Amino acid sequence: MYNANVSCAILQSFVKNTCAKDLEDLCKHKNIQLGIELDALTKTLLARSAATPLGTGRSATSVKSGASGSRPPSGASSSRPIMPTMHAGPIDDDTAEIVAKKAGTERQLEVVAAASKLAKGELHFQKNVLLNSDAASYFY
């Protein structure tokens, strides 16, 4: 439908306003989605950090005896360096992957926030142009 009584500036302003509103709505939905993902990643990280053992298997008394310079009572076999448990590598890899996903999600949230801010600014600008165009059309 084409209305010859509507100026090109008003039509252009309407289209831009509609696009800016659609972009703002898209940013709101994406912000909610990324917020949910970020919360899930944070909870997963907290659960993993709570489940990860803090020590490497040595008790506090064996650490103290090693620090004093005395030889362990069981001989040479226990004077070897303590190796981490078998699960330490994959857990660290999983944790690193989660941290990387969390950082990526945070960056996406920053981009969405910037896009939303621009869309809101464009929407506000277009509303002012539309109002000014309407006011000007009454005088001409």
Which pLDDT tens digit goes with each residue over 70-124? 555 555 544 555 544 444 455 688 889 999 999 999 999 999 999 988 888 876 6
Tokens of 130: 């539309």
CA dihedral 105, 108, 110, 114 (to 10 degrees): -160
Which pLDDT tens digit goes with each residue over 38-77? 999 999 999 988 876 654 444 444 444 444 455 555 555 4
All residues at 6 or more sequence positions from 27 whose CB lies less than 8 Å from its CB, including other chains: 112, 113, 115, 116, 119
20 neighbors 126 (Cβ within 8 angstroms) = yes
- pTM score > 0.75 for this model? no
How buried is 119 (Cβ within 10 angstroms: 0-12 exposed, 13-18 middle, 19+ buried)? buried
